[in-house]
Amino acid sequence: MSRYIWKSVLLLTLSIVICYGLYPLSSWVIGQAIFSFQANSSMLTGVDSKVVGSRQIAQPFTKDEYPPPRQSAASYDAPASTSSAVAASNNFFHQQDPDFVVAETPLLQRPVERVCLFYDC
């Protein structure tokens, strides 16, 4: 009986080492070797080797020669990038339209016209 327990513990230990150690480590090494620029957040550096932004996040353009980027509720700061979605329970809706009432039960639907006031429908 002790032999079966020992083999089970050995198999469990080996599985944990492979699944939680070797597999993630090998995935990380392969990702760094093949996709090093994408794996490191596509950070863009300036002439003085200082990080100036990310290729994946919009950058603020102030010159007239650049077209304006898509408007966002979040700033262009890479570490502070967030979703620009506005929840229906946000006070913004109540400030714009005092008659806009958030339903107490999720089964009640809001009219599409009210929601489309705040989104591009």
Q: What is the pLDDT of residues 6-59, one digit of tens each?
A: 999 999 999 999 999 999 999 999 988 998 877 777 777 888 888 877 776 666
Q: What is the pLDDT of residue 65?
A: 76
Output the DSSP codes for 75-106. Answer: -S-GGG-------TTSHHHHHH-TT----SST
Q: What is the DSSP string of 12-48?
A: HHHHHHIIIIIHHHHHHHHHHHHSHHHHTTTEEE-TT
CA-nearest of 69, 45, 42, 43 to 58 is 69
Show me where the domains of the chain are located: 1-40, 42-81, 86-121
Predicted structure pTM score: 0.39
Instruction: Tell me the HSE value of 13 on the side-chain side, using a 13 A CA sphere.
Output: 6
Share of the chain above pLDDT 70, in %: 50
Q: In the predicted model, what is the mean pLDDT of the chain?
A: 73
Residue 71 pLDDT greater than 60, yes or no: yes
